[in-house]
Amino acid sequence: MISRVLPIRIHEVEPDDVRLLERELGGILRSIDFIYHDAGVNRPLRSKDDDLSGAQTRLLFRNQINKVANSVKEVISGIKIAHKSEPKTIASHSLTVDKPLPAASFTTSLPPGIKVHVIDRAKPSIFLAWTSSELKAKREELALVLQKAGFNVLPSIDCPADDEEFKTRVAEDLKKCSCSLHILGNEFGRRFEIQSDISFPQHQLNEVKKIIEHASSEFQCFIWNVNNPAKVVNPDQQEFVRSIRNHITRNMMFSNSSGAMQLVDDIRVVMMKEEAALFESKDTDIFFIFNQQDESDAGHITDLISEYYPIETLNIMPDGEESYRERSSQQISKSKLAVVYFKYAADWAIPFVKQIWKEIGGASSPTQIMLVGENDPASNASRVFKAPKVVSSIVPKEEVPEEVKKVYVKVVHL
């Protein structure tokens, strides 16, 4: 029997009611809010509120609807996975299967014997610091992005109203985490009743600094500055940010990243590096990578290329997110040219190339990357990535093999 509860809040809930709900549900209350926040206002969010001035700094109705849809999808997927993984008994042999066989995440031309070691660890937990009210919606968005990137996000409830309860919760959740992320905006944030010169966001960062100060600590701290340049920054917040930038220590990173996806991508690279699969790759001339969506077209192209040069291929499957990047980066370092090909999978190819380029050293990478796409569909014309050590080409299907060979010849003669 699978039970799932997806809380939707349309107004602020009293602390006593929150505790009652958590006691009855047997866990932490994490809700999706449809609340219009403004000075002295506590009412349900309406779709027409998205058109009001200043809407971009508040919760957007359309965004919350999207979050509900995504959460419902995840609940259904979780139920399906749980159902598939229930123990199955084979009566004729009296055997119990405790867990299903893992699905293959990718196929490759590399021999299966090259696998050396795969590290299997639980999701890293990240402390996503509570923010000032102006950034609450951005924090919720970031929590979803982090979860989809493989992180366990804490705290998973709204910020406690009581000062002491807040301090206790911060201390408890930090003990469970290996890193923290702090979002800074224009406002200083809520202040303590007794220590009015210290804000809730400031206290959380101070507690993290105490952890990092221990010489043996591997705790990582990420600080994201997203202040709105069109608005006045609170003087206390200005001083807070200035102090942070002037006292960055080891294991602390300050970012002005333009978006949540890029920020989380950078955090993921730092925190999950050790969790990647380890492979022993072999030397080759061309390493040809493609998505399963383009498998039939890629097969024809690689057949033509292999008549002239040694080639290894990697077919990225939809469920191979956690494995293929590390395998690709390791094989790329053993190849003279890495080719990422796409026809229908442009939405996969561009982010993939950007990530791989960064992981193999960017401009200092010893291996050239070629991003090649077909000019049909026409929307591929703008799907290019310009960076040092990366060549982008959009050509007709019949010209792809020759284009790859042409780039390869230039690479080997450099």
Query: 253 and 307, same structural domain?
Result: no
Residue that terminates a domain, selected from 257, 273, 289: 273
Would you say residue 154 lies in a domain? yes
Q: Which two tokens stand for residue 314?
A: 């990697």
390 pLDDT above the threshold of 50: yes
**Domain end point (choices 221, 252, 273):** 273
Provide the 3-class DSSP secondary structure of residue 90: strand
Buried b (16+ CB within 10 A) or exposed e, 7-22: eeeeeebeeeebeebe
CA 128 to CA 149: how far, in whole Å? 14
pLDDT at residue 324 in the model: 77
Q: Minimal CA–CA distance to 180: which of 131, 237, 132? A: 131
Same domain, 242 and 331: no
Higher pLDDT, 57 or 247: 247
Q: Do 127 and 266 sit in the same domain of this protein?
A: yes
The overall longest dimension of the chain from CA atoms, in Å, is 76
- C-alpha torsion angle, residues 73, 74, 80, 86 (rounded to 10): -170
Residue 266, domain member (yes or no): yes
Q: How confident is the model at residue 365 (pLDDT cuts 50, 70, 90)?
A: confident
Contacts of 391 (CB under 8 A, 6+ apart): 368, 369, 370, 371, 407
Which pLDDT does position 396 carry in this prediction? 95
Query: Which pLDDT tens digit goes with each residue over 168-184?
Result: 999 999 999 999 999 99
pLDDT, averaged across the chain: 81
Lowest mean pLDDT among 8-17, 26-35, 218-227, 307-316: 26-35
Is residue 109 domain-resident? no
CA torsion sign, 224 to 226 to 229 to 232? negative
352 in the same domain as 269: no
Residues 6+ apart with CB under 8 A from 401: 301, 304, 305
Same domain as 255, residue 307: no
pLDDT of residue 50: 79
| Higher pLDDT pick, 21 / 199 | 199
Name the residue range of residue 6's domain.
1-77
CB atoms within 10 A of CB 117: 8
The total number of structural domains in the chain stands at: 3
- At residue 336, the 3 state secondary structure works out as strand
The rounded distance, in Å, linking the Cα atoms of 80 and 117 is 30
How far is it, in rounded angstroms, from Cα 221 to Cα 254?
Answer: 9
